[in-house]
Structure 1
Amino acid sequence: MVVLLIKPLLSMLAFFHICLATFVAQTSLAAHGAIAPHIADSDQLALMSFKSLVTSDPSGALASWGNMSIPMCWWRGVACGLRGHRRGHVVALDLPELNLTGTITPALGNLTFLRRLNLSSNGFQGILPPELGNIHDLETLQLTYNSLSGQIPPSLSNCSHLIEISLGDNNLHGGVPSELGSLRNLQVLSLGKNWLTGTIPSWLGNLSSLVFLDLQQNGLVGQIPESLGNLEMLTILSLSGNNLSGPIPSSLGNLYALTGLGLANNKLEGPLPPLMFNNLSSLEFLYIEYNNLNGTLPPNIGNNLPKLNYFLVSDNEFHGMLPSSLCNASMLQAIQTLENFLSGTIPECLGAKQTSLSSVLIGGNQFEATNDADWSFVASLTNCSNLVELDVSSNNLHGVLPNSIGNLSTLLYYLSIAKNNITGTITEGIGNLVNLQTLDMPHNFLIGAIPASLGNLNKLSELFLYNNALSGPLPVTLGNLTQLTRLLLSTNAISGPIPSSLSHCPLEVLDLSHNNLSGPTPKELFSIPTLSILITGNDGLCGGIPQLGLPPCPTQTTKKRHRKLVITVSVCSALACVTLVFALFALRQRSRQKTKAHLQRSVLSEQYMRVSYAELANATSGFASENLIGAGSFGSVYKGTMRSNDQQRVIAVKVLNLMQRGASQSFVAECETLRYARHRNLVKILTICSSIDFKGHDFKALVYEFLPNGNLDQWVHKHIIEDGEPKALDLTTRLNVGIDVASSLDYLHQHKPTPIIHQDLKPSNVLLDSSLVARVGDFGLARFLHQDIGTSSGWASMRGSIGYAAPEYGLGNEVSTQGDVYGYGILLLEMFTGKRPTDNEFGEAMGLRKYVQMALPDTVSTIMDQQLRMEIEDGEPDTSNSKLRISCITSILQVGISCSEEMPMDRMSIGDALKELQAIREKFQKLLCSEASSSSH
């Protein structure tokens, strides 16, 4: 009975305490807005000044500010002191990730009791007010991911209590002010991804409290100061992406608390300090790739760095062996040593303890494997259930490919063993690697048949087996590969017919040349207009479409075939006689043609160096199939290497198919256009060749700079696997590409004295350089505005590609700048939806434009490209950040809709489209950073 009475009594007592606490809290908070109002007047004025300079507040975060019925200390983002001399004064202003734009008012310097200022992940512009140095109590300054410019105010040194300065991902210039050397309490200094110049100050070594130092991706030069080794509390040191030179200072070995060291993408040189890693037992991330470092890797590095997660040393000049001690780093997730001079055998223990390994990229070295024992590392890697990429290409590996390769992780999407000396057959077990997207095994000595189990790899997009000794028939099961775009099997001994099932694959490049294939060619495969096909060197093939030039397949009896042979020989003899009659005439005509060709070449090449057919043939290994990188309406493009000014230069050679009607006019159009056009977003032409090949046939080619990242079509439409695709463009990059393309068109349309019309703008004609800057190419249909065609050729009547050509061109209208704008609008819609305008799902009544228009503005998330959807969902779904990304995509798609209006006069000009996209980027770019970038904060 006593227990029954006590229990409700305790409940009432608890309820009383809650009510009392609530009353006290409310009384205290109310007092902040009412007590001594004159004390907080200056704070309120400062906040209202801040609001007055905010030009955009889409979420209404500052709606409560200035409302007289709401106390200042209850305004969103505002926190006030509760006691002492700070009572009623603003001590914190937290307004991150609200998409606020405008400038930061100098009046914030009047918030003299402010301890924390956090305006990160907004769109503030202008300078960082020097008046912030008046806030002597300031401890935390967080302004990352904005668009602030100017220099870092030296006056911040007056804030002697500062613990954190985070100004990364802005547009700040100048050097790091020496005055900041007085901030002895500073623990976080984050200035990465700005435009800072000068050297790394040696006085940073005096800030003994520093825990986090980020200066990555600036323009800093000079050497890394030895004094940084004094920062014994430092856990993160990020200096990647600058122009630092000289050696890595040995003093960095004193940073025993260091967990992350980023020195990648600089010009550092010399060997690694011998004792540098002896004390770094807490190190988890080592990024030193893309430098000029040399020497050997420390043999005990794995023992000294037991917590190492990422070991990235690619693109240096290291030699010697890969330390077997790495096998003791049981937490290792990635080991990347690409393009060095490492030798010896690959440690057989690799993967035995590192069950978390996801990336093993060790190609481009001199590793050896001469027997089965040397291949035991593959069996060890089968323990790594998270392995997604394995590259052992371009080494000196011999022996037979082990069967254990089929037992690797089923998450593996990239496997390359190219350019080795591997023998034996391809194990059927590779068919177990169901997530493979790229299987790269050319330039080996593989024998036997292509296993039928490859048909299980239904996510495979690239299969490279050329330059081996494979035999037997092509498996019919290859037709199951519904994602396969590139199939290169040249220079083998593959026999039998070409299976018609290959027509089920979305092939773009098919190279079966120089094999022993025979029988009829399947018309359903060779009739695909977008497919680039090479089948030369297969004498047994017959039939097919006329363009292949193959003999007809035999359908008569042996007796009739013999009779036909006799007739054929007789006809050929007669033709030979006729040929003799016309020989002199042909020679005379040829002389005239050569004279004409010479005159044409002199006009076309007056400002380019001359290059011969022989030079181009040598540069491309005889226009070998493995160097083929693309094909279009008028020719094929090959990758080559050519010597220029005593240096090897990688080039792209576009060889015109002069049998194609209009190819010669296309050659002239491209030469004349690029002869006058110069812009950073246009493909640069290096030279041209109008000559005679080794067989005496006319030969025409254009030579461009080689752009290593392929074309936009490949990037947008490449299949994405569940865990992400390395070659996928994020939202920010797509927006930058859209701006680049618009910039090139704006230049062409404003060209003096006559505007240039491209006429064939589409993703496959937009190339990306090493920095993913877009370059518009393929000017085969380009012409000057109001140019008199003066010819009735097929080229003269062409108006771009289906799906991208403006509607008015179908009515025979004259080409115009607005026609290019239409193609640009469709390209923009394609980039952000991942849908081609020719996709069957639209049909004639719908179309890509209407498909997008129906989704605007409320259901954009349902039509956006899969990769963009994953980018949003894998980040922070249903947050203001994800909504902001969707809003950004919506704005971009609206530009695409405005550019692709049916009537030319209703389309916006390309100049206006460019300004609109630049405004979108300026507004959103700092808030659309990847998760990897945000994790550094």
Structure 2
Amino acid sequence: MDFVLDPAKLVPLAIILFHHLNSLVQYEAASTWGYNTDHHALMEFKNGVASTGDHLATVLSSWNDKIHFCDWQGITCNQNSRRHQQRVTALSLPSQRLTGSLSPYLGNLSYLQELNLGNNFLQGEIPQELGKLSLLRILNVTDNHFGGQIPSNISNCKALTHLDLGNNELQGEIPMEITKLSKLKTLHLLVNNLTGPIPQSIGNLSSLTTLTMGRNTLSGSLPAGIGMIPQLQFLQIAENQLHGVIPPSIYNLSSLTFIALATNKLQGSLPPDIGQLLPNLSTLYLGDNQITGSIPASITNLSSLANLDLAYNNFTGPVPTDLGRLSNLVWFNLEGNQLGFRDKYGLDFITSLSNCTSLETLDIYNNNFESQLPISVANLSTRLSMLILAGNKIHGHIHEGITNLVSLTVLRLENNDLQGPLPITIGRLENLQLLSASSNKLSGQIPSSIGNLTQLIDLRLADNLLQGGIPSTLGNCKILQLFDLSENMLNGTIPPQVIGIPSLEIFFGVSGNSITGSLPAEVGKLQHLREIDLSENRISGEIPGALGDCQSLEYLHMQGNIFQGVIPISLNNLKAIQYLDLSRNKLSGRIPEYLGKLHFLAYLNLSSNNLEGLVPQSGVFEIASAISIQGNTNLCGGAGFLRLPACPNEISINKRSKRSKWVIVLVVCVSSGVTLLSCLGVIFYCRKRSTERLPSPTVASLLVESYMTISYKELFDATDGFSVANIVGEGSYGTVYKGILGNRGTMIAVKVLNLQQQQGAAISFLRECEALRHIRHRNLIKILTTCSSIDLNGQEFQALIYEFMSNGSLEEWLHPDITRLQDRKVLQIIDRLNISIDVATALDYLHHQCQAPIVHCDLKPSNILLDDDMTAHVSDFGLAKILLSNVQEATETIGVKGSIGYVPPEYGMGSGVSIKGDVYSYGILLLEIFTGKRPTDNMFTGGFTLHSMAEKAYPDQLLEIIDPQLLTQGEKPSNSRMQECLASVIGISLSCTKESPGERMEIKYVARNMQAIREGFLKGMD
């Protein structure tokens, strides 16, 4: 039977076939389009990233057109049978050392469910286009360098369950839109620069189990909404600036296992029934807040608790005595509270802790515990690594059983009232690295078994009643860095094995004992040591020449001994020495000339010895406050302020030499007079030509009319006879008095030169005249006139007269004397910005706008004076140097020029003064203005400096080093604005204090940038 096609059915069949073929074509086209889109997006990603070294070639070697992108490293596609229909579902390249930035084309990977680029070096901003990835479940870019703000449209990724943006440099506030991610289980934002409040709607994240926002600058109160997240287990918002009371709703989250809210400003008290409310809690970190009240007894019901840290709060009362119920306890820290006051049973809880067999840290430092150290301390866990009981009033003996704690690495018992001897078996603690028992009443001998502590790094037993000799077995402690047995009753000699431990680099101290014998030559092995204190003993013999091998030594205290002989020439090798005290010994011979050439030497005491001969006149010997040589009856010469007799070769003259001398004196006097008159003439000439109008009436206008008529008597009357009550400042070369001149009642400042300084004062006077005659600027101190006359005793008198600055020096504002400045307001942040700009502007003028560059050489707070309007004026040009035209550095080398702490490092190495040296001093000054810390503060030792402190804190932890007065002002600006401002200022200061002069920012750019910072700060206050 033949098949016949019915024409009537042909048309519908053709239509069906057409639609089917069209669908196939559209499907193939869509698949091809999807392939091309994903391929293009991945190639754009590859083009945007790189990798350190040759690593990129290995990581992305498979990313080429010869291989389907689904087979590229780090790429996962959906499981479709046709290759050209597969789409990218995961891009995962963590820990591949990738650099560069993220391409916005990643937003075209519309099937992407996982993007994991954590632990790389990526930077730039997180692309807004990622908000297009509606299927994305995991976004992990932790541990990179992303900046900018968190994209608010990330909330469009409705499928997100894990969002990890931690350990980056993100800024701004947490976008409220992020709380719309209802499926989110993990939110990591810790360690960024986020500011502002935590969104109140945080409670909308009902699926959240993990929330971390620590180490940001978040402010405001802790939202009560956190307590509305029923499944929350891990909560970390430590190290922010949160305040207010911890919301009670948080304690209702029975699922919580981890709470870390430390280092905020949270207040309130813990609920009495915390032990019932949080049954699953394993970690509770609430340290460094303002929490009050007692530690709830119910806390011992937290059977899973492993870490309990309540340090640095205001807890009072007793510590629960049944802590032994916390069988899993590992870390227990209560330091810095007010626990145990007037409670003779306050340490009974230690007995209970013996049941905590996993305990590794017990810290109750700096509380008020007054009871006896219980014997049960010996029953603590043998896993205990740190036992810190210091800073209390604990009494009694150190029980020998404490040496059962064989895992101890840190044992701190200092600042208590402990008595009796150290345990003879102390050597059993073979893992001990820090042993500190200073400032107690320990007696008896130091056990020889202490030499078994071969892991010991830090030994502190100072300020006790210890007797006997220093055990030579301590020489076995080959990695010891700090050794302090000062202020005891020790006798005998210093064992060579001990003072020859090469690892000692921080401190070696045995002062205030009764040690005899000579100083062993093995001291020369201490080549890295920074401080030695042998003072107030009975050490005799000569100073060993080997001491000169201690080339890192900065502080050497040898006073109050019986050292004999001459000061060895080898001490010339102590190039880093800053403080040297050899007083009250029996040293003889001459004072070595090289002591005046030790560039960093700022204090030298040679008093009460048998030294003789000529006193050097360079370096430290030029500064009256820096040296002491009294009690050496056979010394002669030296600087005038020493008032020593002339040396014999200076006074053996005949009549002819006398006549010659008077001729020379006459010539010098005439020359000085001509120079002084020239200086005054130029000042007068410049003042008459100045277009700047002086306010009237002022001392300036008075003296312009008769600038040569100012007399000693007028200054004497103006200052009430140069009364001590009118002293407003003292320096190396003179004293500054305030005074009221004549009937007009005009305030003046009179700098009277100390002519006992002889050459130094004269040079300072001439330099100041020479510098000030060239300059005139609103931020520089104005010299009004000078006075050169004879005082009431017929002695030569010279003085400089300035405008009086009513608000004193910047030094007085940054470091006020509380007893004298009770009513003075502190410097607000805007005041500090203004002062910093004034000083930078003055330096810019000196360096770049004068006929020849002028280097100030002594920039520091005491030389910055403030007028009625708090405008800053740079003063004291006694060390100033005028450079040759267009020359940036003086050709001669002069050693350290300026004040310790502010002097650039190159000066100490013999370089000539330069404008970049002033920039360094300005950078240190800027750090001091905003941190409130002097560069010479006692905290800065052992290579730790004001610069390194700021560098370490920059930019994330600046609020930890900033002057606390800035953070406690009633009208303080918002934290975000302050943080931004401070980061910019500290960044400039670090640029100014680079070790290499060539890397320092030019002062003209400093001035401009500081002005921009001020403008931005003020704009933010609008």
Report TM bin, short chain: 0.5 to 0.7
SS in structure 2 opposite 1:168? coil
TM superposition shift of 1:662: 4.0
Alpha-carbon displacement from aligned partner over 1:232-260 (angstroms, at most 9, x marks no partner): 55444333322334444444444554444
Alpha-carbon displacement from aligned partner over 1:870-890 (angstroms, at most 9, x marks no partner): 99xx9xxxxxxxxxxxxx999
Alignment partner of 1:533 is 2:619: no
Which letter maps to 1:521?
I
Residue 520 of structure 1 aligns with which residue?
590
Q: State the structure with bigger RCO (CA 8 A, min sep 6), 1 or 2.
A: 1
Alignment partner of 1:343 is 2:393: no
SS in structure 2 opposite 1:265? coil
Alignment partner of 1:308 is 2:384: yes
TM superposition shift of 1:676: 3.0
> 2-side partners of 1:243 and 1:889: how far apart?
29
SS in structure 1 opposite 2:425? coil
Evaluate the alpha carbon distance shift between residue 445 and residue 786 of structure 1 in structure 2; reply closer, same or farther with a 3 A threshold: closer
Alignment partner of 1:745 is 2:795: no
Residue 365 of structure 1 aligns with which residue?
440
Alignment partner of 1:177 is 2:223: yes
Residue 334 of structure 1 aligns with which residue?
410
TM superposition shift of 1:299: 3.7
Which letter maps to 1:798?
L
Residue 274 of structure 1 aligns with which residue?
348
TM superposition shift of 1:90: 1.3
Which residue, out of 102, 105, 122, partners 1:62? 102
Evaluate the alpha carbon distance shift between residue 796 and residue 142 of structure 1 in structure 2; reply closer, same or farther with a 3 A threshold: closer
SS in structure 1 opposite 2:245? coil
TM superposition shift of 1:219: 1.1
TM superposition shift of 1:848: 9.2
> 2-side partners of 1:677 and 1:139: how far apart?
57
- The TM-score normalised by the length of structure 1 is 0.60
The aligned runs of 1:694-733 (5 Å cut-off) are: none
Residue 743 of structure 2 aligns with which residue?
none
Which of the pair has more CA radius of gyration? Answer: 2
Which letter maps to 2:1009?
D
Alignment partner of 1:28 is 2:28: no
TM superposition shift of 1:386: 2.7
Residue 93 of structure 1 aligns with which residue?
139
TM superposition shift of 1:144: 0.8
The answer on whether the counterparts of 1:250 and 1:273 sit within 8 Å (CA) in structure 2 is no
Residue 386 of structure 1 aligns with which residue?
455
Evaluate the alpha carbon distance shift between residue 598 and residue 380 of structure 1 in structure 2; reply closer, same or farther with a 3 A threshold: farther
> 1-side partners of 2:1001 and 2:191: how far apart?
39
Which letter maps to 1:265?
Y
> 2-side partners of 1:398 and 1:867: how far apart?
35
The alignment of Structure 1 onto Structure 2 pairs a total of residues equal to 686
Residue 57 of structure 2 aligns with which residue?
none
The answer on whether the counterparts of 1:260 and 1:283 sit within 8 Å (CA) in structure 2 is no
Alpha-carbon displacement from aligned partner over 1:626-668 (angstroms, at most 9, x marks no partner): xxxxx996699xxxxxxxxxxxxxxxxxxx9974744999999
Alignment partner of 1:242 is 2:289: yes
Evaluate the alpha carbon distance shift between residue 393 and residue 178 of structure 1 in structure 2; reply closer, same or farther with a 3 A threshold: same
**C-alpha RMSD of the superposition:** 5.9
TM superposition shift of 1:120: 0.9
TM superposition shift of 1:291: 4.2
The aligned runs of 1:334-483 (5 Å cut-off) are: 334-352=410-428, 354-366=429-441, 368-370=442-444, 372=445, 375-376=446-447, 379-408=448-477, 410-437=478-505, 438-483=507-552
Which letter maps to 2:359?
L
Which letter maps to 1:910?
A
Residue 503 of structure 1 aligns with which residue?
572
> 2-side partners of 1:605 and 1:256: how far apart?
67
Residue 738 of structure 2 aligns with which residue?
none
Structure 1, unaligned stretches of length 5 or more? 1-18, 45-57, 79-86, 555-563, 569-589, 609-630, 637-655, 689-701, 706-738, 766-775, 790-794, 813-821, 852-864, 875-887, 920-937
Residue 265 of structure 2 aligns with which residue?
219
Residue 965 of structure 2 aligns with which residue?
none
Alpha-carbon displacement from aligned partner over 1:407-446 (angstroms, at most 9, x marks no partner): 22x2111111112222222111113421112102212222
TM superposition shift of 1:471: 1.7
Residue 858 of structure 1 aligns with which residue?
none
Residue 910 of structure 1 aligns with which residue?
1007
Evaluate the alpha carbon distance shift between residue 248 and residue 782 of structure 1 in structure 2; reply closer, same or farther with a 3 A threshold: same
TM superposition shift of 1:348: 3.4
> 2-side partners of 1:445 and 1:232: how far apart?
59
Evaluate the alpha carbon distance shift between residue 318 and residue 225 of structure 1 in structure 2; reply closer, same or farther with a 3 A threshold: farther
The answer on whether the counterparts of 2:527 and 2:551 sit within 8 Å (CA) in structure 1 is yes
TM superposition shift of 1:472: 1.8
> 1-side partners of 2:988 and 2:80: how far apart?
43
> 2-side partners of 1:289 and 1:843: how far apart?
50
> 2-side partners of 1:657 and 1:245: how far apart?
61
The answer on whether the counterparts of 1:369 and 1:399 sit within 8 Å (CA) in structure 2 is no
Residue 486 of structure 1 aligns with which residue?
555
Evaluate the alpha carbon distance shift between residue 258 and residue 118 of structure 1 in structure 2; reply closer, same or farther with a 3 A threshold: same
> 1-side partners of 2:106 and 2:898: how far apart?
49
Which residue, out of 808, 818, 821, partners 1:676? 808
The answer on whether the counterparts of 1:259 and 1:285 sit within 8 Å (CA) in structure 2 is no
Structure 2, unaligned stretches of length 5 or more? 1-67, 92-97, 119-132, 315-336, 341-345, 622-628, 637-647, 653-711, 736-753, 769-798, 825-829, 921-941, 953-984, 1017-1022
Evaluate the alpha carbon distance shift between residue 67 and residue 195 of structure 1 in structure 2; reply closer, same or farther with a 3 A threshold: closer
> 2-side partners of 1:668 and 1:332: how far apart?
65
Residue 310 of structure 2 aligns with which residue?
263
Which letter maps to 1:682?
L
TM superposition shift of 1:491: 1.2
Q: Report % sequence identity.
A: 24
Evaluate the alpha carbon distance shift between residue 70 and residue 499 of structure 1 in structure 2; reply closer, same or farther with a 3 A threshold: farther
TM superposition shift of 1:351: 4.6
Alpha-carbon displacement from aligned partner over 1:542-562 (angstroms, at most 9, x marks no partner): 4452556867699xxxxxxxx
The answer on whether the counterparts of 1:266 and 1:290 sit within 8 Å (CA) in structure 2 is no
TM superposition shift of 1:204: 4.4
Residue 134 of structure 1 aligns with which residue?
180
Alpha-carbon displacement from aligned partner over 1:801-829 (angstroms, at most 9, x marks no partner): 99xx99669699xxxxxxxxx999x979x
Evaluate the alpha carbon distance shift between residue 140 and residue 342 of structure 1 in structure 2; reply closer, same or farther with a 3 A threshold: farther
Which letter maps to 1:300?
S
Alpha-carbon displacement from aligned partner over 1:55-108 (angstroms, at most 9, x marks no partner): xxx944421544647864475649xxxxxxxx9821111112322222223333
TM superposition shift of 1:478: 0.4
> 1-side partners of 2:874 and 2:863: how far apart?
17
Alpha-carbon displacement from aligned partner over 1:104-154 (angstroms, at most 9, x marks no partner): 233333333221111112222222233333222222111011122222234
The answer on whether the counterparts of 1:901 and 1:907 sit within 8 Å (CA) in structure 2 is no
Residue 732 of structure 1 aligns with which residue?
none
Evaluate the alpha carbon distance shift between residue 398 and residue 596 of structure 1 in structure 2; reply closer, same or farther with a 3 A threshold: farther
Residue 6 of structure 2 aligns with which residue?
none
Residue 642 of structure 2 aligns with which residue?
none
Alpha-carbon displacement from aligned partner over 1:568-588 (angstroms, at most 9, x marks no partner): 9xxxxxxxxxxxxxxxxxxxx
SS in structure 2 opposite 1:149? strand
Evaluate the alpha carbon distance shift between residue 516 and residue 901 of structure 1 in structure 2; reply closer, same or farther with a 3 A threshold: closer
